[in-house]
Structure 1
């Protein structure tokens, strides 16, 4: 995790940059650890290093939301439950993706996905019920 130096409502953050990056650019910061603050900043490049000087502008409600914002994921209202946690169907979706990345055979993927009941989102869809149409 990048070191951030809080200065009241402002912050400073050292970072590494590509040598050909712009000398000055606008940026943003999203903390993925509590208190999950977000901010806007000006990044000044000094060789391969840079300093970001910014102001905190908001705060995410949960770690899941902070992580989604940190990777610029599309965030829909239905992604999160009332407590701010990630809804089960999105957790299953992420788990399916991780399984797909970690196995080499499709048969192994199906065994794991079926054993963990990760296809519950598709139980009502016709595409998975009719094998005759394939």
Structure 2
């Protein structure tokens, strides 16, 4: 994906699921360095296609935190004291959410592997 930047502002295109609102807001999170996050306005210009306009608001300290934020999780809610995934979450549900939010299959695999969601032996 190509992201255009002018100072703290950014713009990029995305694909939307059928039935998505014509205009809505969201949070954009980078899964690669420098792990920035920002608020975004998403405007659909054609069915299934939209432009994202936003402003960077800050940075995450590390990749794990950025990836968790990208799937709308919080480290203190998702991980226990030993850094393992909490039992109350189901791996399959998280994988579905990752798949829905990924831009392409490579992004999905990167997130799934980084969050160690491939093993169905336990629960999240």
Output the TM-score relative to the length of structure 2.
Answer: 0.62
State the Cα distance separating 1:28 from its structure 2 match: 1.0
Could you tell me which residue of structure 2 aligns to residue 23 of structure 1?
22
Could you tell me which residue of structure 2 aligns to residue 125 of structure 1?
none
Could you tell me which residue of structure 2 aligns to residue 46 of structure 1?
45
Separation of aligned partners in 2, 1:6 and 1:53: 10
Alignment of 1:1-134 (within 5 A): 2-47=1-46, 48-76=48-76, 89-91=82-84, 98-99=118-119, 101=120
Q: How many residues align?
A: 92
State the Cα distance separating 1:19 from its structure 2 match: 3.9
CA separation of 1:3 and 1:91: change in aligned 2, threshold 3 A: farther
Separation of aligned partners in 2, 1:25 and 1:64: 27
Bigger relative CO (Cα 8 Å, ≥ 6 apart): 2
State the Cα distance separating 1:33 from its structure 2 match: 0.3
CA RMSD of aligned residues (A): 2.8
SS at 2:32's partner residue? coil
State the Cα distance separating 1:22 from its structure 2 match: 1.2
CA separation of 1:92 and 1:29: change in aligned 2, threshold 3 A: closer
SS at 2:5's partner residue? strand
State the Cα distance separating 1:36 from its structure 2 match: 0.2
Separation of aligned partners in 2, 1:21 and 1:34: 29
SS at 1:76's partner residue? helix
Structure 2 unpaired stretches of 5+: 87-114
Could you tell me which residue of structure 2 aligns to residue 106 of structure 1?
none
Q: Tell me which protein shows more helix as a share of its residues.
A: 1
